Amino acid sequence: MSTATPSLAQPSTPPDGPPRASWPAVVAVMLGIFSLVTAEILPIGLLTSIGASFTVSDGVAGLMMTMPGFLAAIAAPVVTVATGRVDRRVMLAAFILLLALADFLAAAATSYWLVLVSRVLVGVTIGGFWSVGAGLAGQLVPAASVGRATSVIFSAVPLGSVLGVPLGTFIGDVAGWRTAFLAMGGFTLAVLVLILAVVPSLPSDRATRPDVLRGMLRSVDTRYALLTTFLVVLAHFGTYTYVTPFLERVTGIAPGLVTVYLLLYGAAGIAGNFLGGSAVGRFPRATFAVAACLIAAATLLLPVLGQSDAGAVALLVVWGVAYGAVPVCSQTWFARASPDRPEASSVLFTASFQATISLGALAGGAVLDHSSPATVMVLGGLPAVLAALVAGAHRATRHPWPESAR
């Protein structure tokens, strides 16, 4: 990921002076987020096989994507406020342990409702870990390296798509979906050991309070960030959650090839992460608008061009590049809106992002159960068009960023 990716607002300097660089700790936080991202979206590649195991429709199976998002949206502010003075290292370790337990529960589930319980645990973990971990760069490295450290942490998002999900899907194809969750649980325990070994004590010197979050919502920039994030994430997860049924039914590829297609999408996501990270510092609104336009183009054209293998691959690559830039664009916008409150910015980013993941997966599942995968793609592309217009509207108002965010 490009070192030009903008950092979050600089946190206050610790009482004992600026932090010494702890790059192993940065990598540990990145691997923790990689575990979260992979666990959250792993069901996308295993959707049809899990649904078949419990005799539920693809739309009902999509609840595996809906549940974590809703719980994460609730957990982000609640957990962060409730544990405001707890050492952040302790919180990171506790959340990762909970994630491993969720993976093992899914692997051992004897009924679909137990799978959904495991997804509830995943949601709580995502809300807490993301809110705490996304803004920790300033406590792990000196100020001059915060941008690079933030880039490393955010690289976990596309890596979850390019490595985690395709590998999990491959394991599921070869040894069954339960084995994929079992392997994910084992990896997460390894990350827990690494966090305990290399992450230093991270006492919280500024607790996030409810009134701080309410105050941020009064900001025009924050409201634009919320609306743009809502629309683009709704478009993405309302469609990408059901990309496997689309590829199998419309493109007509064999189930075993889904892994390859998702791998290509994920590789494109890494490129998008680099490109978005390079551009968002200078052109935050334009970068977000371009990403939304590309997602709209990919999803709206898939029902037409995605009937062929070449068309599907080309559009998945465009889609991957576009979505690879979305998380860093969204978090950057939130951080610029409230530059003096990095953890609070992370809370709003996490809550809005995760709630919309759930709404997107839920809406897409409802459409899929009553129509077709092609219709899901077309309807999902419309919010992405609106997201581009909203980002453009914010730019057109020439509303200045807060001075300390520049």
> Residue 88 is encoded by which pair of tokens?
């952040």
pLDDT in tens, 93-107: 999 999 999 999 999
> Residue 13 is encoded by which pair of tokens?
């300097």
- Look at phi and psi of residue 330 and say left if phi exceeds 0, alpha if psi is from -120 to 50, else beta: alpha
- Name the residue with tokens 């509207």: 393
**Which of the given ranges, 120-129, 253-262, 328-337, has the highest pLDDT on average?**
120-129
How far is it, in rounded angstroms, from Cα 177 to Cα 211?
44
Closest to 168 in 3D by CA, of 276, 43, 264, 57: 43
How far is it, in rounded angstroms, from Cα 152 to Cα 334?
19
How far is it, in rounded angstroms, from Cα 2 to Cα 155?
9
Assess contact for 336 and 401: CB atoms under 8 A. yes
Write down how long the chain is: 406
Burial profile 202-237: b = 16 or more Cβ within 10 angstroms, e = fewer: bebeeebeeebbeebeeeebbebbbbbbbbbbbbbb
Residue 372, exposed/middle/buried by CB under 10 A (0-12, 13-18, 19+)?
middle
More confident residue, 28 or 337: 28
pLDDT in tens, 346-378: 777 777 787 887 788 788 888 888 888 899 999
What's the pLDDT score for residue 360?
Answer: 85
Residue type for 161, please? S
Would you list the DSSP string of 314-336? HHHHHHHHHHHHHHHHHHHHHHH
What's the pLDDT score for residue 1?
Answer: 37
How far is it, in rounded angstroms, from Cα 141 to Cα 40?
28
pLDDT in tens, 39-83: 888 887 787 788 888 877 777 777 777 778 778 888 878 877 777
How far is it, in rounded angstroms, from Cα 51 to Cα 40?
16
Assess contact for 275 and 76: CB atoms under 8 A. no
DSSP 110: S
- Cα maximum dimension of the chain: 61
> Residue 402 is encoded by which pair of tokens?
């807060």
The pTM score is 0.74
Assess contact for 368 and 59: CB atoms under 8 A. yes
- Look at phi and psi of residue 55 and say left if phi exceeds 0, alpha if psi is from -120 to 50, else beta: left
How far is it, in rounded angstroms, from Cα 399 to Cα 120?
39
pLDDT in tens, 377-394: 999 899 999 998 888 777
* φ, ψ at 41 (rounded to 5°): -100, 0
Neighbouring CB atoms inside 10 A of 50's CB total 23
Assess contact for 189 and 99: CB atoms under 8 A. no
pLDDT at 204 over 70: no
Instruction: Tell me the pLDDT of the chain averaged across its residues.
Output: 80
What's the pLDDT score for residue 101?
Answer: 95
What's the pLDDT score for residue 193?
Answer: 96
pLDDT band with cut points at 50, 70 and 90 for residue 395: low
pLDDT at 406 over 60: no
CA 41 to chain centre: 9
